[in-house]
Structure formats: structure tokens, C-alpha cells
Structure 1
Amino acid sequence: MRWIEVKKSKNLNGVVSIPGSKNSSLPILTACCLAEEPVILKNVPNISDIRVILNILSSMGASITKDKNNTYKIDTSKIRQANIDPKKSSSYRASYYFIGAMLAKHKKVSLGYPGGDNFGTRPIDQHIKGLEALGAKFSFFHDYYEVEADKLIGADIYFDVITSGATINLLMAAVLAEGTTVLRNSARDPEVVDLSLFLNEMGANIKGAGTDTIVIEGVKKLTKAVHCIIPDRLIAGSLLMSTGITGGSICVTDVIPDHLIPCIAKLEEAGLEVIVKENSVTAISNGITEGVHIKASMYPGFPTDLQQPITSLLIGANSHSIVEDTVYPNRFKHCLELNKMGADILMKEGNVVIPGRKKLKGSVVYASDVRAGICLILAALGAEGTTQIRGIEHIERGYENIVDVFTSLGANITICEDIDSEEVVEEFNVL
């Protein structure tokens, strides 16, 4: 068994270069299946979710070559079928991207149901609705499902709710469909825009990405491209939040500050000083914060993936806070773990009340998903004594060398492992 051990840390200081976005990399890596020539992707993060998707691509016949600085050359031209091992595709939630990426070329896709984070259901009804509008047919079985389409034909599609996953999936499916597809009430996330840029670089015709209406003119084929993944705004935001707990000054570089506007606004409201430059953001704090109200919503609102780490920041605030999540109303398992440490958070349907003025004590806690893990690390940095965080495999799905990053900033944090534990890791074949 492996776990992260954290002791109280004060005055974190330093500069961190932010890696590529996990939530951009996953669909873009999948979208490589659309190309008829090799593509080059730069700034791909070295995290376990990426290794899973590379393993899937490799097992289907893709040629993958890794260069320095997290750059990959990916050639999917030899993939002849799209029957994906249900176990592999069920190991992370974004497996459904393979439908949009492979259906037009291969006519049939078979894969396991979405897995990954454990904080409530992630319905795929909007994916199904949109793909059926393009001409796809779904068949559901015990541990996998199949999607078939002899031909994809453009359609006018309205999403009942704003969903980044379905927007991304339909973008990929529509680029090789016949005619025009219009996606209405679309997600506006930077990751959606990044995917659209990549597809256009390969020869797609997409307009309106970043707005709620996206228009896709189908093309016959996609070719080679060179693309650099955008920086991970969620990692940047989490690191900036840590200064409000420990005090100090942290500068995140190689970021796009516009992607962090909701986070910056709430940090300033909580009492942190934030300095924004062209490609960096610095947060400065003396560790004294004020309570704020957070309402997590779709972009450009406050990100649901940052409501967990900011909860840790608000525990010691001088006044109470309310955190509401309109995207995933049940995403509050981290609060049960924080209460083990003395947070006394009151949990309701869709929101929590954080009383503030609480001193945390180290405990043994469990990270139920990626963002819950970073939340617990932040809380542990301000807690008296030692905190043991289990379930670190979830943290490693989204954060590259996070222990080393915090150590470089002055945190007292280490990875521990039982010497008798054995782990088998399946790696993909990279030439």
C-alpha cells in the first residue's frame, strides 16, 4: 500500500511551471484516431490517465513514439478496428471519447462503460442523444456497449444541459460527418477550444468554439498536425490556493491567466493578494483569510474541479462560507474526510456550509477522486500533526509529481509505501 504523509507546513514559497492540461490531453489524444497521418503533440502531462489512453491506442495498433519534454508522435493509420477492451476503457471516465473519434472511420465502436472518479454518476444521455441525431445506433450489454453507424450525417443538436464531455464527443464525430452540424448550448471550456484548434490544424472546419453555438462543416479527411496542449488551469488554481492555508508566495508560470479569472476573483475575495502577468499568476498570503460563497458551474463560472481544494482554504477563514456545486451536486465526499480532521462542515443537498475558524488535526483520510486528493493535501498542510492520505492512485491520475512540487515549495510531504506491498503496472509499448 502507498500513501502520502503530510505534516503542517508554513510559508510555502517558489515558482512552479504548470504542465499540460489533463482535460485537454485526453480528448486530443483520442482525436488522433481521426488523422490519416502522424500527429505530434507537445506538453502532454505524465500522469496515469494519459498512460491508460496511450495503452489503449497502442493495443489497437497505433504507433507511439515519445520524445523529450513530454512530446509524442502518434500514428493511428494502422488501426483497423475499434473494439476496445472493456476493462481498459472502464478504467477512466473519458473512454466515451473513442466513439466520436472512431465511429466515422470504423463504422462501429465497442467499449466499456465510463469509469474513473468516484463521486456520483456521470450520465452519457447527452452523448447518446447527439450521436443518434448524427445517425448512430447504440446497443447496451452487461459490461460494454456498441455504437454503429454506416454513415454520419450532420444535424442541428441542442444540449439539454451544458456538458463539456458531450460537446467534445460530438465535435469529434461531426468533423467527418456529411454536411453541417450545429451544436447549441455547447460547453465553452478552454479544453473544448483547445480540441477545436487541434482538429482545425488537422484540416477540420469548426467555427464558434468558445461560444454556446459551434458550427462544424464536415470534411473528407484529416491529416497531420503539430499541437501544444494548453496548461492545466486546475493544477495552477490548486497551487495558488495553498498559499491561503500556509502563507507565503507561489508563482505559477506557463499559464493562461484568462482561464483562471473565476479562481483569481475568489482568492482576492478571500483576502489573498494576486498579481497577474502575461503568462504567470502569483498569490501572496499571510495565512489569514475571509469566508466566501462559491457556486461551481460550467465555464466561465467557478470550476467544479476547484470547489474541493478551495474548501480546504475556507476551513480556517475568519467567517463562514457556503460552497454549492451545480455541476455535480453530490461531489462532497471530501467533506466527510475533512470532518475527520475537525472541519465540522455541514453537508446539505447540493451544497455545504463551512463554519470557519477551525483548527485541523492530522488523521488518516481517503481521496475518493482526483480533486478530493489535492483538497486533502491542502488541508493537511495546515493541520497539526501528521496526516496520512490513502487512495493516492486517484491523485496520480491528474497530478504529475505533486509531492515533488510541494516539496520544492517547502512543504513537509512524502510518499510512503509498505515494503511488503506489490504492485503490477501495465505500461504501453513506446518505440
Structure 2
Amino acid sequence: MSNFIINGGKKLTGSIRTNSAKNSAVAILCSLPMIKGRTVLDDVPVIEEVKRIIEILISLGLKINWLSKHRLEIINVGKINLATIDKQAYQKTRVTVLFIGSLVKRFKNFILPKTSGCKLGKRTVNPHIIGLKHFGITVKKLNNKYSIASQRIKGADFTMYESGDTATENIILAATLAQGKSKINLASPNYMVQDLCHFLNQAGAKIKGIGTTKLEIHGVKKLKPVKNYCLIPDPIESMAFISLAIATESKLKIIGCPIEFLSLELEKLRLMGQKMNISRLYKSSSGYFDLVDITIIPSKLTALPDKIYGRPFPGLNIDNLPLFVPILTKARGQTLVHDWVYENRAIYYTELNKLGAKIMLLDPHRVTVTGPTKFKPVATECPPALRPAINLFIAMIAAKGKSILKNCYSIDRGYEDLCQRLNKIGADIKRVD
């Protein structure tokens, strides 16, 4: 496990580029057992969660090669061996539940291990199970595994039990190779779902309604390899850098921000008094998404007049909600943060109190944040969940003096070379492995 030693309180300057989206990368990688042949992905983030999915794919029989630092070659010769699946890697991330959707056409009856990931309380897979059942796919939860059974997978017309990102992706994977047409209502239109759909369409899928809550999918017999696909930049990473700039009272330019998935977040910041410059739109490398460069300018902030909470897209991104907590510590007044999705993520917000924040836990889903406060250095363990972990890291960079963040695997799961990248813009962070 790595420790980060942070000499905080320094102003950041210059610019930092947003890396590609973790959640897009892992979803697209999980779809690759469906695609025979050679596929090449560009702008793949070299992060721990991606490494775990690659380990699983290799254990299933796929060949993986890094052609360059962010260019990944995947060769599927058509032979998938479930008996050799890497159970240890599989159980380290919850997104591996997507292998149900990507393998169900190949195997009528099969077993997969149960999944893990961020420790944020009980995270039900019922939306996956209920949705897949519409196609004639039965998923049974056993002690440490899932038992999956199907006969002929037929298209279906139904409403999602819950508009979850990963559940929607699982449904899309199953529908892509199902017999006939599927209509999925209340589908998530979030960035990683859109990216997966665009990738699958390049592979020969027939998916309509991308970016809406109503998807129409005409099943195809097989998919073809994709010669080159570039992933979307990560709006959650963009928001993390925005939060970092505000917490450190720095002027910082964040390059390559997917504006469609940040517009409400920026509006909240504007209402708080945050000054920023936003560039003209330009297209992502794939051509599917609009990007901007955002320059954060040091500002005096006032607390929001209403509570802040996450919602499915196009609401404030559920993964961006925690990144508002360091920002709210800089705003004059009190803000109610309602994190209704996860059972105990709000509890982790109080970790910032170790650095001098004034955060009161009202219940497992709600906290109040009172500001403005200044952070002070501390030595502590990294939370076992990605977003609360990056919150603590941001606060330590803002706190003048020496802080130590121990066991930082949670951050490595979602951020590539973060210490090195931040040091280039003025931070002083040492990584000790």
C-alpha cells in the first residue's frame, strides 16, 4: 500500500488535463468478451481498477497488450474459459457484475463470483437481476457467487426498476445480442452509458436514443472488432480538480472538461460566487462529446441557500456531490448536503473534521457543512472509498504543513499518476510505496 506525504498550503498554478473516464473504461473493457477479433482502445487510464479488469480478461483467455502508455490492444480469439477466471481481481471491483451481460449470450448456464468495490454500505444488484429477467435471464444470488441461466435471449420492452448507470449498462450488453428489438425506459443517460453505447455501435450494435432515458436496441447476431475508439474525458476528475483549485484558493485551468456533465455543478458554483472562465466548445477525440477548458479564479464564496444533493443525470452527478464538501468549507454560511444514494458515504465526510472542518453528521445520509474554515495538517488512514478519499487528499493539499495519508489504494483505483501530475502544477507531494 502507498502512503502520500503532503507538504500542503501551496498555491497551484498553470493547467492540468482531464484524463479519460474510469467508469467508461471499465464498462467498455467488460464488453470485450462479446467481440471476437482485435480491438484497440485509446486514452485508457492506467489505474488500479482498469488493471483489475485487464487481469480478469487475461484469465478468461483474451490477450492484452499496451501499445503505448494509454493505447490498449485487446485480442479475443473466441475462446472464453470461465474455469480460470481470476477471482481475486474479480472481487475487488463492483463493475465486474457487467460480465453477466457480456457472457450470457455465450453461456446458457454459468457461475460468477460476487463483487466488491468501494465500501459504501449495501449496494443492491436487484436492478440488474430484475432488468435481465425481462430477457429470460435468471440470476440467483448464492453465498459467494451468482448463478446465471438463460435459454433463448429475446428482446424486451420494459421500464428499469432503477435508473442506475451499471444496471443500464448490463441491460444494454444483454440487449445488444438478444433476438429482436428492445425498448428500455428510464435508462441512465450518464456519460459512461453514452460512451459504452457509442463504442458498441462502432462494433456493429444498433442502439438508438443515446443520451436519453429511452433506448431502442435492435439485437444483432454478432459484433465486429473496433479498430480505434477514444474514451471520454472524466467529468468526475474535472470536478475533482475544480474542487482542488477552490480549496487551495488557486487560479487553475482544467483542460478537456465534458461540459454536458458538469453544467449544473458549475451553476451551483456560480450561485456561490465562484468566478471562472470557460472556453469555447470543442469536440472530444471520439467526436461524440463537447469539451471546454475551465479556469477557476480565487473567489469569496457564500453557502448555497438550499440543500445540495446528487441526482441521476442530468442532475448533479452523484459522484460529484462529495467533491462539493471541501468547497463548502470555504463558503460563508451553512449548507446541508444530502447524500441519499449510499448508506454511509456521508459518514466519511466527517473525516475532514480531523483537518479543522466543521461538519456535523445528522444521519447516515445528511451532513451540515459550516464555513469558512481553514484546514490544518494531519496524519490519517485513507477512507476505503474513492470519492471520500480524494476529498481528504484535497483538504491535505490545502492545509499548510505536513500531512500523511496512509494506504492510498482507494485513490489509485480511480486516478492515474496523481501525485506526479499535481506536483507539476505546484503541489508538494511525495509518494512512498
TM-score bracket, shorter-length normalisation: over 0.9
Aligned twin of 1:165:
166
Q: Which residue of 2 aligns with 1:202?
A: 203
Counterpart for residue 425 of structure 1:
none
Classify the secondary structure of the residue corresponding to 1:265. Answer: helix
1:290 counterpart residue number? 302
Say if 2:6 and 2:397, in contact at 8 Å, map to a contact too: yes
2:76 corresponds to 1:62: no
1:241 pairs with one of 233, 240, 243: 243
1:23 lines up with 2:23 in the alignment? yes
1:212-267 Cα deviation digits (max 9, x unpaired): 11111111110011211110111111101212111222212233222221222222
User: Mean alpha-carbon deviation: is it higher for 331-340 or for 124-133?
Assistant: 331-340
Aligned residues: 417
Instruction: Write the distance in 1 (CA, Å) between the matches of 2:74 and 2:432.
Output: 35
Of 228, 231, 254, the residue aligned with 1:229 is 231
Distance 1:214 1:62 in 2: 30
User: Is residue 319 of structure 2 the alignment partner of residue 305 of structure 1?
Assistant: yes
DSSP-derived class of the 1:154 partner: coil
Task: Give the one of 387, 399, 402 matched to 2:418.
Answer: 402
SS of corresponding position for 2:257: coil
Note the C-alpha offset of 1:329. 4.9
Letter in 1 for 2:347: K
Q: Distance in 2 between matches of 1:337 and 1:416?
A: 22
Output the aligned Cα RMSD: 1.7
Matched with 2:112 is 111
- TM normalised by structure 2 equals 0.92
SS of the equivalent of 1:394 reads: helix
Native 8 Å contact 1:246 1:287 kept in 2: no
Residue 7 (structure 1) aligned with residue 21 (structure 2): no
Q: Distance in 2 between matches of 1:405 and 1:137?
A: 45
* 2:391 alignment counterpart: 375
What is the deviation of 1:363? 1.6
Question: CA separation in 1, counterparts of 2:350 and 2:110?
Answer: 39
CA shift for structure 1 position 114: 1.8
Q: Supply the distance in 2 between the matched residues of 1:287 and 1:409 (Cα, whole angstroms).
A: 19
Q: Please report how far the alpha carbon of residue 59 of structure 1 lies from its aligned counterpart in structure 2 after TM superposition.
A: 0.9
- State the 1:189 CA deviation: 0.1
Aligned amino acid, residue 325 of structure 1: D
Secondary structure of 1:173's aligned partner: helix
Q: Larger deviation: 385-394 or 2-11? A: 2-11
Q: Distance in 2 between matches of 1:330 and 1:157?
A: 31
1:346 and 2:348 matched: no
CA contact (8 A) 1:82 1:108 kept: no
- Aligned-partner SS, 2:432: strand
2-structure distance, mates of 1:221, 1:290: 55
Cα drift, residue 287 of structure 1: 5.4
User: Which residue does 1:178 correspond to in 2?
Assistant: 179
Asked if 2 retains the 8 angstrom alpha-carbon contact of 1:313 and 1:378, the reply is: no
> Contact between 1:244 and 1:289, CA under 8 Å: does it hold in 2?
no
Contact 1:297/1:326, CA 8 A, preserved across alignment: no
Equivalent residues of 1:86, 1:144 under 8 A apart: no
Do 2:118 and 2:386's aligned partners in 1 also have CA atoms closer than 8 Å?
yes
Counterpart for residue 214 of structure 1: 215
Separation in structure 2 between the aligned mates of residue 368 and residue 69 of structure 1, nearest angstrom:
27
Q: TM-score scaled to structure 1, two decimals?
A: 0.92
Structure 1 residues not aligned, in runs of 5+: 418-431
SS across alignment from 2:320: helix
Counterpart CA distance in 2 for 1:148 and 1:14 is: 54
Counterpart residue type for residue 73 of structure 1? E
- The list of structure 1 runs, each at least 4 consecutive aligned residues, that deviate by more than 3 angstroms after superposition, is 81-86
Paired-residue identity, %: 27
Q: Is the 8 A contact 2:131 2:161 kept in 1?
A: no
Q: Shift of residue 313 of structure 1?
A: 1.6
Q: Alpha-carbon deviation of 1:198?
A: 0.7
* 2:190 alignment counterpart: 189
Give the stretch that moved more between structures: 14-23 or 357-366.
Answer: 357-366
